Chain A
Amino acid sequence: MDNATNFISIEGLKFFGKVNASISHEIKNILAIISETAGFLHDLTDLAKQGEDLKLSLLESCSESIAEDIQRGFDTIKQMNQFAHSVDVPIKEIKIFETVELTVKLSNFLSFSSKVEIENGDKEDKPVLTCPFLMESLIYQILLFVYESTGPDGHVLIQFDSQKKDGTSLIISTPTNFILDGFPTPDIQRAAKFLGFELNINSSNQKLDIWVPYVSKEIVALEKELQINLKS
């Protein structure tokens, strides 16, 4: 599967399915909370009909809870929509911080995800010419690998270093030891190669460094390949 088009089609479909499954799980959880809260309000109404006092504080906390979960639902749908639009154009200029932030949010729907803090030292969100869908897929796969090491109680820090002119370093670290046995997997390596990204693991200071060039020769080649294959 050395051809990028095949790789994106097969691995991309797996990634798309995984993200959709986790989003549907999140939406079901939100609806379950709203459903139970509405049921509780119904129970209170039944009790009031039987002459019991209706506590206003309970009504207030139920309405606040429903409002909070409706907002959680809107946020989830917004992320789902952003993600769906990442396949609109095969290669385009994206904002690196925005893309990483979306991918982290998508990965946080998984039950085993760790708590992730994103620290953007650069005031400017740098533009990168890339395949947004493949980039999201790559970062997602890397985060899953990291979560397996850190666990659901773990903390992950993502930082950006844009001191060099031609790209940004995405630095993933944890306060505990990274156990990244088997990293990078062949699929992660292949995705990074097609995007022109470089992966460097520094096990001594527990950091994973992903070099993201603003424009790479690999992405220009990928753009040509995708243009030809999408036309045919």
Chain B
Amino acid sequence: MKIILVDDEQKFINMLAKRLTMRGIQADVVFTGRDAINRVKDTAYDVAVLDVKMPGISGIQLKKELKSIDSDLKFIFVTGHGIASRSEANMIEEDLYLSKPLDIETLIKKLNKIIKTG
């Protein structure tokens, strides 16, 4: 499984990527939406794990951009916020959503589930 983690909290995703790698999941990290778009243009990933609120672009907007580049890409949202609005809730409903702090085993279960269910 190959995933991309996108979050401006650099220490958080660097540490998360190390722990996922120790569990056999290849995890690349980027800190901005712009870098995520560039990376997805070059590399095929199974899942993108996105922070909902990031500087410059929201996770929801970023999902649209990434989906237009790779229509097979699956998404999991991670956030330190609650869901701010009904429209955000509707956007996220179809995807998987996790709240910070994360439990890594729950994240891995969600990753396996989203890949299996397609």
Residues of A in contact with B (beta carbons under 8 Å apart): 21, 24-26, 28-29, 31-37, 39-40, 43, 47, 65, 69, 111-113, 151-153
Please name the residue on chain A nearest to B16 by beta carbon. A36
Contact A35 B81 (CB under 8 A): no
Please name the residue on chain B nearest to A65 by beta carbon. B11
Contact A32 B22 (CB under 8 A): no
Query: With a CB–CB cut-off of 8 A, which chain A residues contact B11?
Result: 33, 37, 65, 69
Residues of B in contact with A (beta carbons under 8 Å apart): 8-9, 11-12, 15-16, 18-19, 22, 53-56, 80-82, 99-102, 104
Contact A29 B12 (CB under 8 A): yes
Query: With a CB–CB cut-off of 8 A, which chain B residues contact A43?
Result: 19, 22
Task: Report how far A9 CA is from B80 CA in the complex, Å.
Answer: 28
Query: With a CB–CB cut-off of 8 A, which chain A residues contact B99?
Result: 28
Contact B104 A39 (CB under 8 A): yes
Known: A28-B101, A33-B12. 8 other contacts (CB 8 A): A26-B80, A33-B9, A33-B11, A39-B19, A39-B104, A43-B22, A112-B55, A112-B56
Contact A32 B12 (CB under 8 A): yes
Contact partner, B54, options A31, A111, A153, Cβ 8 Å: A111
**CB contact under 8 A between A32 and B8, given known A25-B81, A39-B19, A43-B19:** no
- Kindly provide the distance from the CB of A152 to the nearest chain B CB, expressed in whole angstroms: 3
Query: With a CB–CB cut-off of 8 A, which chain B residues contact A33?
Result: 9, 11-12, 15
**CB contact under 8 A between A151 and B56, given known A25-B81, A28-B100, A111-B8:** yes
Contact A32 B55 (CB under 8 A): no
Give chain A's interface secondary structure class: helix
Task: Report how far A21 CA is from B53 CA in the complex, Å.
Answer: 12
- Kindly provide the distance from the CB of B107 to the nearest chain A CB, expressed in whole angstroms: 11
Contact A32 B18 (CB under 8 A): no
**CB contact under 8 A between A152 and B101, given known A32-B80, A43-B22, A69-B11:** no
Contact B53 A111 (CB under 8 A): yes
Query: With a CB–CB cut-off of 8 A, which chain A residues contact B100?
Result: 28-29, 31-32
Contact A36 B12 (CB under 8 A): yes
Query: With a CB–CB cut-off of 8 A, which chain B residues contact A47?
Result: 22
Contact A29 B19 (CB under 8 A): no
Q: List 20 A-B contacts (CB under 8 A).
A: A21-B81, A21-B82, A28-B81, A28-B100, A29-B9, A29-B100, A33-B11, A33-B15, A35-B101, A36-B12, A36-B19, A37-B15, A40-B15, A43-B19, A47-B22, A65-B15, A111-B53, A113-B55, A151-B56, A153-B56
Query: With a CB–CB cut-off of 8 A, which chain B residues contact A113?
Result: 55
Please name the residue on chain B nearest to A25 by beta carbon. B80
- Kindly provide the distance from the CB of B53 to the nearest chain A CB, expressed in whole angstroms: 4
Task: Report how far A112 CA is from B81 CA in the complex, Å.
Answer: 14
Most B-side CB within 10 Å, residue of A21, A33, A65, A69: A33
Contact B19 A40 (CB under 8 A): yes
Contact partner, A36, options B53, B56, B80, B102, Cβ 8 Å: B102
Please name the residue on chain B nearest to A114 by beta carbon. B55
Query: With a CB–CB cut-off of 8 A, which chain A residues contact B8?
Result: 111
Query: With a CB–CB cut-off of 8 A, which chain A residues contact B16?
Result: 36
